[in-house]
Amino acid sequence: MDMERFKVYWRETCFIAGWVVFLVFLVLGSGLAFSSWLDHLELFGFPLGVLMLGIVSVIIVIAVMFWFVGVQNHIDQIHGADEDL
């Protein structure tokens, strides 16, 4: 891969990684910010704030990671940096 294509590849990868970090902090930050308010509501007998922080945030983070892997594989294929397994 020549240097110009490498710079474009790296810029796209950093952009996507930045979005992943932003989304993870947004999910965890909103869970922390609204946790005490959500604890007044209950779902299946548990405070909703606990469920949001403990379960939903983990599911969202895992979903974001799967999204990142798919997008990164697409970027790798476009730039010829994909791996044949």
Please state the domain extents for the chain.
3-79
pLDDT in tens, 52-61: 788 888 898 8
pLDDT in tens, 1-39: 678 888 999 999 999 999 999 988 888 888 788 888 888
Q: In which element (H, E) is residue 43 found?
A: strand 42-43
pLDDT in tens, 31-51: 788 888 888 888 888 888 888
